[in-house]
Amino acid sequence: MIDENEKTPRDEAVDKELDGVPEQFRDDSEDEDDEVEESLDEALAALRGDLETAKQDVLYAKAETQNVRRRLEKDVQDARNYAATGFARDILSVSDNLARAVQSVPEALREDEKLKGFIAGIEATQRELDKVFGQHGITRIASTGMPLDPNQHQAMMEIPSDDHEPGTIVQEMQAGYMIKDRLLRPAMVGVAKKPD
């Protein structure tokens, strides 16, 4: 049996070291060691939890930054593609008036030597305008003979017809245009319906 009162040489060395240290500052109990160890474990667990939270926050911040960058890139691309939308919409009326001018010239005047150059100039201007539209991604919407597409056509009237299926476009009153993949102006059309 070991006597607890017997001191080993190590205990004596520790006692010498602790000579002069007040009793309240001495760490003689194992309970205090256990409490300190438990509090350290709790603090470590709390720090690990904080670290995981910080890692998640960093991941979310990276993802949000990437999303913002993608949105900005898309906005810049859209601005490049569709910057001329307002101007193009305004210039369409000029194109319409030019087309009406060419269509309104009677055949008899087209053969007149004095007007041939003038009419050829108007037609050349119309072709040049169509070419510029094409260069900027502005295309005319097909309509006559097509089924009505409310995303591209605006039905202005119904026309009784035995020759066409109901809902088929039989007359175009104003041409419609797209700019790239967006509607610039819907085509104003007349749609076939069953006769009464």
Tell me how far the alpha carbon of residue 134 is from its chain's centroid: 25
Question: 183: closest CA among 151, 154, 156, 155?
Answer: 151
Q: Which residues contact 162 (CB under 8 A, 6 or more apart)?
A: 195
Percentage, residues of the chain above pLDDT 70: 88
Domain ranges of the chain: 85-193
Q: What is the pLDDT of residue 4?
A: 52
pLDDT classification of 1: cutoffs 50, 70, 90 = very low
Q: What is the pLDDT of residue 20?
A: 73
> For 141, phi and psi rounded to 5 degrees?
-85, 130
Average pLDDT in the 140-150 region? Answer: 92
Residue 5 pLDDT greater than 60, yes or no = no
pLDDT in tens, 32-41: 566 777 888 8
Q: What is the pLDDT of residue 76?
A: 92
pLDDT: which is higher, 56 or 108: 56
Q: What is the pLDDT of residue 12?
A: 76
Residue 30 pLDDT greater than 60, yes or no = no
Q: Which residues contact 98 (CB under 8 A, 6 or more apart)?
A: 122, 125, 126, 129
d(CA 51, CA 191): 67
How many residues in total does the chain contain?
196
The reply to whether CATH 2.30.22.10 applies to domain 85-193 is yes
